[in-house]
Amino acid sequence: MNTPNPRIALIGECMIELQHRADGSLHQSFGGDTLNTAVYLARELGAGATVDYVTALGDDSFSDAMCRSWAEEGIGLGMVQRLPGRLPGLYCIQTDARGERRFLYWRNEAAVRDCFTTPAAEPILAALPDYAVLYFSGITLAVLGEQGRKRLIETLVQARRRGAWIVFDNNYRPRLWASLEQAQAAYREVMAYVDLALLTEDDEQALFGYGDSDAVFAAYPDTPEVVLKRGADACLIRCKGESFSVPAQRVAKVVDTTAAGDSFSAAYLACRLQGGGPAQAAEAGHHLASRVIQVPGALIPRT
């Protein structure tokens, strides 16, 4: 897909992020899977695209700070709702000696849960089908709730009819779902409308019990482009009937794997939007992810 100056909407949740440091202190920033991807996508594409974030926040000082930081990154705020009296969610990252992370969440009352159910959501939902690309994740599906997911799927159908590219990252978080069966049903329903699936192998195995990569690809015969992310191992790609692998880039020391997959997805999508092929896009994804995992937190400094 080579679209000049595309308009891209990423739908999801940004939270207050607390990084638990080795000395016991906490460093506060902001993060969330789709927001991480939005930031890296805006950095990759620069003035060559419009990147808007679609979410709901509160009217508190943390929400104000989020919006300021997004604007500084070049992300559009026109699709962000501000709900009076509400707050964003919060999470804490704890990392072990190998850089692997554990997340603790406080998000049950987060404003994003009403993102697509308020009267103010109607013009946003009406505008989304006119974007060139709609991007969302498994976490988006979870936090929107049943009614919000229904509105999202209606929007995906309309957007696809108008020629939009639908991109989905499977990020599966079991604690966000009432049951495994509920999550499976939601994922299967949206996959029918996805053009580019950016899947993490571990999440596919946890959600559906697939034994290997062949089983994952076999589950999505009608998805035009499927990318299977496998951490430090080569990613696997199937596109237009061709299948191939692209090795990951090794680093001397992994500091924090937070946003590794999100940054990969951003660089992959940016490359594809600029006319690069899947293999070239995967190389770009691995390159950015290799930089991200050498820095604490989800977002590395722009410099």
Q: What is the DSSP string of the chain?
A: -B-SS-EEEEE---EEEEEE-TTS-EEEEEE-HHHHHHHHHHHHHGGGSEEEEEEEE-SSHHHHHHHHHHHHTTEE-TTEEE-TT-B--EEEEEE-TTS-EEEEEE-TTBGGGGTTTSTTHHHHHHHGGGSSEEEEEHHHHHHHHHHHHHHHHHHHHHHHHTTPEEEEE----GGGSS-HHHHHHHHHHHHTT-SEEEEEHHHHHHHH---SHHHHHHH-TT-SEEEEE-TTSPEEEEETTEEEEEPPPP-S-----TTHHHHHHHHHHHHHHBT--HHHHHHHHHHHHHHHTTSSSSS----
Catalytic positions are 262
pLDDT in tens, 191-247: 999 999 999 999 999 999 999 999 999 999 999 999 999 999 999 999 988 999 999
pLDDT of residue 283: 98
Q: What is the pLDDT of residue 116?
A: 97
pLDDT band at 21 (very low <50, low <70, confident <90, very high): confident
Which sequence spans correspond to the domains of the chain? 9-292
pLDDT reported for residue 41: 98
User: What is the percent of the chain where pLDDT is above 70?
Assistant: 99
93-108 mean pLDDT: 78
pLDDT-based confidence at residue 106 (cuts at 50, 70, 90): confident
CATH architecture of 9-292: 3-Layer(aba) Sandwich (3.40)
Residue 74: pLDDT above 80? Answer: yes
> What mean pLDDT value characterizes the chain?
94
Q: What is the pLDDT of residues 239-298, one digit of tens each?
A: 988 999 999 999 999 988 889 999 999 999 999 999 999 999 999 999 999 999 999 878
109 band by pLDDT with thresholds 50, 70 and 90: confident
**Can you give the pLDDT at residue 17?**
85
Q: Comparing 294 with 31, which gets the higher pLDDT? A: 294
- Is 0.85 topped by the overall pTM? yes
